A and B are shown apart, each in its own frame.
Chain A
């Protein structure tokens, strides 16, 4: 909740600052800036570079601020760490009272709470020493060393001189004290707004983890082997899907029998998400390589079939007529007109298919795998190694983005005529 408010604040603030700075600095003088109708004219809306850069920075700033990163000076308040103390007033069954002090030592997140000793002091209530974990409540059995025990009718009536009861909480400044149902002390050090590294580690931890795993590997395989295997599966499944899907799509675009035969199958399989096929594929092909590649094959197959079919149907009939009147045979029309004409559609389909395959492979590896990006993060999550999980997610995102950029580059190089007719 607080993070969201923070984010909205930074979004608005950055917008305001950037536009104030820009105003008068330089007015844009290109064609778009001469358009008076820009609201609603989609072509006049361009991604603001500054906004993109700030957006990425903001994510890191929030991440750093909420994890107490050492790379960034401003942090939201962290949890209480260090030594603190409070007194409790114990009332004996006979009505006499005594005070004792509880010394609490709270170590930083992730560090072990170390036991320590204090002098017991005088009276029937003795001083206690307690090592509490940060940000979490823990129960202090204060009467272990006291001469008056709870089972003998002794009970706490005040903390730091402030009265306490079953429903009354006392704030000691560094934490909060409640009484448990059985009358013991429950102490919660101030939590602050920072994240426990188990939920979200600081950016530098993730980066350090990246270098560690990049050089030493994780779970018997190097980082590159994990990522490489995921990629290899995607490429294998995609290539298989394209090799079957494209000819099938062509056949559906060219022959009524093929179209009639496969239409119900393709239209039925298209809306089934590949993830829903995982159980069946596991039953039929096992959970190892065969199963994964079959799954990715199925993920790519329908997309490529539909793309190839659309590519064939999209050919301008004049082109076909012209080719026939120029004396081309059916095979030549296939080779020189229909195939090149369908390439833009096929590339669009290939981009979609690669994206779907990449998402599917990670999910399949989450289910079962010995190596792969998905296996890496699911294995790490079992040991609560959140930094590896986050590193893995970032790598998966970067690779997915990279694949799309490569496909687009290949597209503009191989089909420069896309959208030109």
Chain B
């Protein structure tokens, strides 16, 4: 029984000037429990739109999404979200951010403290629990965002370029953390990224999307995430098949980008 079922999803934005954008067309996907899927594609191919529909922030023009057999109608605690940046609450300290979800559910303080304490240990921020979030570095803030999402025990975690605003070194460390959390918690995760390497490392499954209309172009099953759980990510990048895979996907995306450029030139 598949956990997350995305069926024939289409999304069209009607613009005020009368034209319309087909952001998604007939996208179908199955995600089993505990699967880690990364989504890659040129800018504007509808990745964010897809994630927002799964999260329940947008209703699709046609198609449906089912989670554990029931229809997704709006945002819910069963689907957690990690944003690129700016989604932490500056008026709360680190611990209050992390236990926001349980607090809203009315969980007693002792239990909440246990959850937030454990998660802050996992993301390595125990010493910062009473700090204001704006006093933390970008990488630390993303760790808080991860912990906040996990504290709520969602069935599915949706991440829209969660590491996109970080520098290369921090990013690499955070990739390791995401893999570790995935393995330890066994959550279903969809992760959008612009980095081909990140998509290879953080995806048992990798979806490459194509633009205009936004659709699934190719799908891969990859061994690298499993390898990365126990090994250094730098070694995984040197491991068998990684470089070839990266080059193949890079040139695929390059072709798509070039096609877009050509098309806009003709249109212009």
Contact = CB atoms under 8 A, between A and B. Distances in A.
Contacts of A319: 86-89
Contact of B79 (A323, A325, A420, A421): A325
Given A321-B83, A421-B134, A326 B77 contact: yes
A219 interface: no
A327 B104 contact: yes
A284 to B, nearest CB: 41
Contacts of B13: none
Contacts of B101: 326-328
Given A416-B132, A417-B134, A420-B134, A318 B83 contact: yes
A336 B100 contact: yes
Given A324-B75, A325-B75, A326-B152, A340 B89 contact: yes
A368 to B, nearest CB: 44
B254 interface: no
Q: Most chain-A Cβ atoms within 10 A of its Cβ — which of B85, B100, B152? A: B100
A421 B138 CA distance: 11
A324 B149 CA distance: 12
Interface in A400-415: 415
Contact of B87 (A318, A328, A332, A340): A318
Nearest to B96: A336
Nearest to A325: B81
B100 A326 contact: yes
A191 interface: no
Interface in B66-88: 74-77, 79-81, 83, 85-88
A322 interface: yes
A417 B90 contact: yes
Interface in A317-347: 318-319, 321-329, 332, 336-337, 340-341, 343
B87 A321 contact: yes
A78 B85 CA distance: 70
B89 A321 contact: no
A316 interface: yes
7 contacts: A318-B83, A318-B87, A325-B149, A326-B101, A326-B149, A417-B91, A420-B90
B55 A325 contact: yes
A41 B239 CA distance: 51
Contacts, number: 76
B100 A316 contact: no
A343 to B, nearest CB: 7
B134 A343 contact: no
B83 A340 contact: no
Interface of B: 55-57, 74-77, 79-81, 83, 85-91, 100-101, 104-105, 132, 134, 148-149, 152, 154, 158
- Tell me whether chain B's interface is mostly helix, strand or loop, or mixed: loop
A321 B90 contact: no
Given A328-B104, A332-B104, A321 B55 contact: yes
B152 A421 contact: no
A341 B132 CA distance: 15
A326 B87 CA distance: 12
Nearest to A337: B89
Contacts of B83: 318, 321-322
Nearest to A316: B86
Interface string A209-247: 000000000000000000000000000000000000000
Contacts of B132: 416-417, 420
Residue among A316, A318, A326, A329 with max Cβ neighbours from chain B (10 Å): A326
Nearest to B80: A325
A324 to B, nearest CB: 4
Contacts of A318: 83, 85-87
A325 B77 contact: yes
Which 8 A-B pairs give the minimum distances between C-beta atoms?
Answer: A327-B77, A417-B90, A324-B75, A420-B134, A318-B87, A340-B91, A326-B101, A322-B87
